[in-house]
């Protein structure tokens, strides 16, 4: 097996997710209110006080090529990290947050086994050599680590907020997925207009989203920005196997507890959707990934030890 390492910055090709371009979503809007009765829902007077926020980051450290019997197989060396922050909403001046768990992993993702030790990047098999499949497999590994970290810290939480879609993490108690950006609207007509009428702290009624994989979902507007259109709107997800009453209770919990965690525009370009605990955790996790230049150097050294040379070496 011959292995070469691309000479250019691997981050230039990191395009993890493409927006969905599928047709109109399949929605059951009658979970909490009948569609004709849809209106903004106010937050309850009180909500959970102990919240755990979980997030993950990943980075492509190098792109490699594996050569065997005249065949070329692409691969990627990836680092990823996950962590959790516990937030105490009973803090006097502002919500208090503390990092309670972090973990870092690395891997070489490829469709074929290099057949030798690749330093700090153990082999992780991808189903195909398609570049998109390699990235998707790395993304799944990060989600798995997030779920592992979550399982260690969420048992004592009244609400667990997992950054990104909830898919693959639905068994965690009192958990919601938190989606900051919107590549499509799942609601049409008058239902979509309810989203645009939300005031800060208000949410839409819960609805059942059947497209792709089934889950409960709702929209919430965070404070600190315009109350028009989709400014400050986040979407949240809850597991499909919950009762409708349990999903609605989670929606109320998010409306009561998440608005105080919204970030400020002068501190974060993604404000207010990028919750303050998420922003701080992301910065820490990115530092924990290590120096990309040193890691790329280690990949090059490993490639020299695992083969007898090849094109581009």
In order, the DSSP letters of 266-304 are TT-TTTTTS-HHHHHHHHHHHHHT--HHHHHHHHHHHHH
Q: What's the pLDDT score for residue 36?
A: 97
User: What percent of the chain clears pLDDT 70, i.e. is strictly above it?
Assistant: 85
Q: Supply the pLDDT for residue 268.
A: 53
Asked whether 281 and 53 are in contact (CB, 8 A), the reply is yes
What is the distance between the alpha carbons of residues 125 and 307, in angstroms, rounded to a whole number? Answer: 19
What does R_g of the chain's alpha carbons equal in angstroms? 22
Higher pLDDT, 126 or 183: 126
Instruction: Give the mean model confidence (pLDDT) for residues 116-126.
Output: 89
Would you say residue 63 has pLDDT above 60?
Answer: yes
pLDDT at 273 (0 to 100): 73
Cβ atoms of 106 and 122 closer than 8 Å: yes
DSSP-assigned letter for residue 150: H
Mean pLDDT in residue range 46-58: 91
CA–CA separation, 299 vs 309, rounded Å?
A: 14
Q: Distance between alpha carbon 268 and the CA centroid of its chain, in Å? A: 18
Mean pLDDT to the nearest integer, 249-267: 82
Task: Give the sign of the dihedral formed by CA 163, CA 151, CA 125, CA 281.
Answer: positive
Beta-carbon count within 10 A of 133 CB: 14
Q: What is the mean pLDDT of the chain?
A: 85
Average pLDDT over residues 67-77: 88
pLDDT (average), residues 87-91? 77
Q: How far apart are CA 223 and CA 205, in angstroms?
A: 18
Residue 67 predicted with pLDDT over 80: yes
Q: Are 116 and 66 in contact (CB under 8 A)?
A: no
Q: Residue 109 in contact with residue 137, Cβ under 8 Å?
A: yes
E strands, the chain, in order: 2-5, 27-28, 50-68, 71-88, 96-110, 123-125, 159-163, 175-179, 207-209, 215-221, 233-239
Q: Are 217 and 238 in contact (CB under 8 A)?
A: yes
Pairing of strands 207-209, 215-221: antiparallel
For strands 215-221 and 159-163, give the pairing.
unpaired
Digit-coded pLDDT (tens) for 203-241:
999 999 998 889 999 999 998 766 678 888 999 999 999
* Beta pairing, strands 71-88 & 123-125: unpaired
Q: Please, are residues 108 and 298 in contact by the beta-carbon 8 Å criterion?
A: no
118-130 burial: b if 16+ Cβ within 10 Å, else e: bbbbebbebeebe
Its sign, for the CA torsion 139, 298, 118, 75, is positive
Domain ranges of the chain: 2-9+23-305
Quick: pLDDT tens for 269-289: 554 677 888 888 989 999 999
| Mean pLDDT of all residues in 8-19 | 45
Between CA 183 and CA 192, with CA 186 as vertex, the angle to 5 degrees is 110
């Amino acid at each position: 097996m011959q292995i070469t390492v691309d000479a250019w910055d691997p981050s230039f090709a990191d395009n993890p997710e493409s927006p969905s371009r599928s047709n109109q979503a399949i929605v059951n809007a009658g979970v909490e209110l009948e569609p004709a009765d849809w209106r903004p829902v106010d937050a309850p007077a009180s909500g959970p006080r102990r919240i755990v926020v979980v997030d993950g980051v990943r980075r492509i450290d190098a792109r490699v090529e594996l050569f065997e019997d005249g065949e070329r197989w692409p691969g990627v060396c990836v680092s990823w990290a996950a962590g959790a922050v516990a937030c105490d909403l009973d803090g006097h001046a502002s919500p208090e947050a503390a990092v309670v768990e972090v973990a870092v992993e690395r891997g070489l993702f490829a469709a074929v086994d290099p057949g030798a030790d690749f330093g700090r990047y153990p082999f992780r098999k991808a189903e195909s050599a398609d570049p998109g499949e390699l990235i998707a497999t790395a993304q799944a590994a990060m989600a798995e680590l997030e779920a592992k970290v979550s399982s260690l810290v969420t048992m004592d939480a009244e609400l667990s907020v997992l950054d990104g879609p909830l898919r693959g993490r639905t068994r965690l108690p009192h958990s919601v997925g938190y989606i900051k950006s919107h590549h499509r609207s799942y609601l049409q007509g008058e239902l979509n207009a309810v989203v645009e009428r939300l005031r800060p702290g208000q949410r839409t009624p819960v609805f059942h989203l059947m497209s792709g994989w089934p889950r409960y979902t709702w929209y919430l507007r965070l404070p600190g920005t315009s109350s028009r259109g989709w400014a400050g709107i986040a979407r949240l997800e809850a597991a499909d196997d919950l009762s409708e009453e349990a999903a609605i209770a989670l929606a109320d919990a998010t409306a009561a507890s998440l608005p105080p965690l919204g970030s400020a525009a002068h501190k974060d370009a993604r404000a207010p959707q990028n919750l303050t605990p998420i922003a701080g955790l992301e910065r820490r996790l990115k530092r924990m990934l290590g120096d990309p230049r040193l890691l790329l150097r280690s990949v090059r050294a490993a490639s020299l030890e695992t083969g007898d040379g090849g094109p581009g070496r």
